[in-house]
Amino acid sequence: MIKVHSLSKSYGSRQAISDVSFEINKGEVVGFLGPNGAGKTTTMKILTGYMVPHKGSVQLDGIDILKEPLLAKKKLGYLPEFPPIYTDMYVENYLQYVAKLKLCPKKEIPKRVDLTLEKVGLKEVRKRLIKNLSKGFKQRVGLAQALVSQPEILILDEPTVGLDPKQVKDIRNTLIQLKGQHTIILSTHILSEVQISCDRVIVINKGKIVMQDSLTGLSQKMRAKRQIVLTVRKVSDDLLLKLKKVQGVISVTQEDRSFVLDVEKENSINEDLARFVVNNSYGLIELKEKSFNLEDVFIRLTEQSKK
């Protein structure tokens, strides 16, 4: 559906992105991850035809956006970082305007507007001025704007930035509902968002793609390493050495009363450790398996590329 081939773009002497290539299949939801200033927005802007790259090509459903921008843009719904809303318009009129702008067939416009308002939960404010809406509602109007033309490809640039937790949850629920109806690129630096809704992640840092993998593949990679965090009440000087001798423990680091143990992957070491601590009366406070989330992957990947 989306084919991006070695995109490069620089602003003056600063290289914003270089040699970015990826492919996204129809119906996939792909998280586009990266720290702030990594080149996410620049890539999004090129994908949507807002900007022209210095090198490379973008194909949306087989149409080159540089050669046939008008045709390609018909297939797109784009929610930029700041929702592009006319604050002096009514919600309903605004969506009608966008639908016309995106060349929806005239007869279908009222139906599509109704459907979109329903989808994003804006039905009760349809006759209100956008100016008077809360930030969460404004963001939803922005999302509605991207959806109203029922595009095949949906590009969302940080859709939950600056919202309160309840609003974030609402937007995410909407995103989950949209899954399967569109091919979605979700650009974000919030990792839990990706974990909830995406099939695949592309991590970008300093303008280069650092990693592309499916979420399951990613978590498998993560499981290759296993860590246990042990907290005790009484710490003696030799505890560190003793812990190292427990079978299955590879290495131990001490942080005050907590110990982080790198352990062998397939091993029922938890029991042994608990028994060891209790038998020696160290006073067990906590013993837990450290779960790896995207956050750790992300930090590791971005730090690797720094080196």
Partner 1 sequence: MMKSLLQEMKFFFKQMFLVAQKDFKSMLFSPLFFVWSGISFIFLSYIFPRDLFRFAMSYAMPVMGGDPNQGGNIHFNVFVAHISYINLILLFSIPVLGMKLLAEEKQNHTFDLLMTAPLSSFQMILGKYFALISLLLVFLLCSLFYPLSTGLFVEIPLGPLFSSYLGLFCLVVLYSSVALFASSLSSSLFLSAFIGMIFNISLWFISQQGVGDSGLISSVMSYISIASHLTNFIKGSIVISSIVFFLSSACFFLFLVFKSVEFVRWRA
Residue 290 CA to residue 6 CA, distance in Å, equals 38
Is residue 106 within 8 Å of 49, Cβ to Cβ? no
String of contacts with partner 1 for each residue 131-170, x by CB under 8 A: --------------x-------------------------
* 12 to 31: interface string for partner 1, x by CB under 8 A: x-------------------
Residues 49-68 that bind partner 1 (CB under 8 A): 49-52, 54
Alpha-carbon distance of 138 to 15, in angstroms, equals 33
Q: Are 178 and 168 in contact (CB under 8 A)?
A: no
Residue 54 DSSP SS3: coil
Stretch that binds partner 1, among 81-89, 117-125, 202-210, 220-228 (CB under 8 A): 81-89
User: 72: number of CA atoms within 13 Å, CB side?
Assistant: 21
Tell the smallest beta-carbon distance from residue 71 to partner 1 (Å).
8
Site stretch for partner 1 (CB under 8 A), options 79-87, 248-256, 277-285, 298-306: 79-87
The strands making up 55-60's β-sheet, listed across from edge to edge, are 14-24, 2-11, 55-60, 63-64
**Rounded-to-integer distance, Cα 238 and Cα 218, Å:** 38
Part of the chain binding partner 1 (CB under 8 A), chosen from 9-17, 195-203, 242-250, 297-305:
9-17
Q: Residue 29 phi/psi, 5° resolution?
A: -115, 115
| Cβ closest to partner 1, residue 101 vs residue 176 | 101
Does 90 bind partner 1 (CB under 8 A)? Our answer is no
Give whichever of 76 and 210 is closer to partner 1, judged by the CB atom.
76
- C-beta of 31 vs 142, nearer to partner 1: 142
CB of 19 to partner 1, least distance (A): 17
DSSP notation for 65-84: TTTSHHHHHHTEEEE-SS--
Please name every residue paired with 8 in a beta bridge, in sequence order, or none if there are none. Answer: 55
Interface pick for partner 1 out of 84, 121, 136, 248 (rule CB under 8 A)? 84
Tell me the three state secondary structure of residue 115: helix
Smallest distance, partner 1 to C-beta of residue 204, A? 20
- Dist. CA 296–CA 198, nearest whole Å: 17
From the list 76, 77, 96, the residue with the least C-alpha distance to 86 is 96
- Residue number with CB closer to partner 1 (101 or 285): 101
CB of 86 to partner 1, least distance (A): 6
Q: How far apart are CA 209 and CA 34, in angstroms?
A: 9
Closest CB to partner 1 among 48 and 197? 48
Stretch that binds partner 1, among 42-50, 167-175, 241-249, 291-299 (CB under 8 A): 42-50
Tokens of 279: 């038998």
Does 119 engage in binding with partner 1 (CB under 8 A)?
no
Q: Which residues bind partner 1 (CB under 8 A)?
A: 10-12, 48-52, 54, 69-71, 73-74, 76, 78, 80-89, 97-98, 100-103, 145
